[in-house]
Chains A and B, each alone.
Chain A
């Protein structure tokens, strides 16, 4: 219960920040005529960018929220305790990123220094419900839980295989 509280506070902070940041509107590109680009990716016009917010749970877990007038970028860093969690996290998040078109709001390549990134534009806000979108992103924070379960499964499999191998000698 006590350990769940820091996580809940962390998620609540991210949720509140996203609710405030997800006020996007259509804004055509100022540089190129008849183009409409997510300003948070280009970063050519500083007047269209808001201050980025970095929410850190600890040194290894953090969330960067960068906002602009027509787009929002959210980058997550997941805690990895050991080598096995490290490769499982990399594999799992890379697996999702490579299939980003299925999620629409997922970025194919995470921002440098982070494990996974989302890019939400004003079009996504028009098509999708804001609260549900925030819930979906918050759910990704729980990727750590999925990875922990995967790690336990891998270790359990290893233990069973080791037991079977040694039983053959008996």
Chain B
């Protein structure tokens, strides 16, 4: 045969992967620096298919990176900057040790910095890529902007995060890109559609954080470093796409009106604060009046396009949901969130002057249509406006229509707040509130509640009568019914919901049908017996999942029913 003897682990998958420590040694970086580099460059470990082969026969748990990735990192200019920083730290320490303060100062001034522009460009070659990945950046920036300015991270970072998030919110307002809002126990979720990309972010509630000890803030800070850069560039691009001036400025007319307030603080500071108040529109590079009036020409369209057009129209309708409505926020309502949402949908909003800068009108304004308050009662109420709780705004946005105000009056038990992100498929459990909203959206008018209740009661009575009749047969057909129930469950699991009812007149006909069904079921059972082991396993798994889903839906429905019954009995007792 001849030839060189083949050595193990020199080709194939073993040569394609590299362990983390080896990679670190190859890059000559310390572990924290390596971590930072990986975060900035978006390099993540890979799980080899044959771990033992890659691990050269050992089964120890190791993290593997692709060798190609590490080679790619070798050429990164930032690595050089990391080394510079190391030298800088060493020099600074030395200067401190020698108490050469002038040297310390000099070194401090020349602290090596690096820019992440090229990395952003490299990681997101097109703008859409960047937009697609901006969810995490937004979440992180919103979180950091709520941090107190002590410890944990640099004040500049916090300020920068705040600035960027305010810019983002202003953009969303101007482009009215917001689609869904959800108040969860974690925070408020927002979903916006920017350039066709759905972007979701969560904003924590405005409380000081109880900083956990088991969180490595260095990692978070590195991510934030990257994210702020990314968000800044994205904001710049977005602002320019709307012909807005990028470091955002207030519209000059508005500014003229508010010149009186300028004694409040330094101009630059007040400017940024006014921006964050979200109450004023932004200055445009090109005057806005012409642009708004220019409408799209209508072209005759066919078939599918009509649907798209309809969807577009709906969207536009949603964008002008609060148009012409004037809101006033009481001081206990979450101002920033509400102002953001209302302004996104074309409403006007104001608040008490002492609450925050940027209020546009007073409580006494006659034209206010909605007064949002989050307290059981307000003493002094004006006649020509609705006093509602904040949930109304969010529910309206999610329902894409103005919901009846009555359920949201002060002191009223609020209807449940549903997640707009859940899209029920067939066979899933749909809470009755959602059904109600869907009916409203379809344009059906809700029947009077009392009538509904009466109807329900009537139905129940009927059902009871029916039950009595059926009871006689039940003994005979108990077994059969059980089977039938099982069948129903199966069918439900297949996505159909059959309403099989046993009526006394059609016993025979049903029996034959049932026989047939039974036969079929048995056939299926027998066929299942003949499945191969692998397929059987897969089949069982799928069926288990489906059954579990059905079970969960049933459980929810049962729970709801129990709850409703309890409520009803309570009401009855109260009546008596």
Question: Are A and B bound to each other?
Answer: no
- B residues sitting closer than 8 Å to A (CB atoms) are none
Measuring CB to CB, which residues of chain A are less than 8 angstroms from any residue of chain B? none
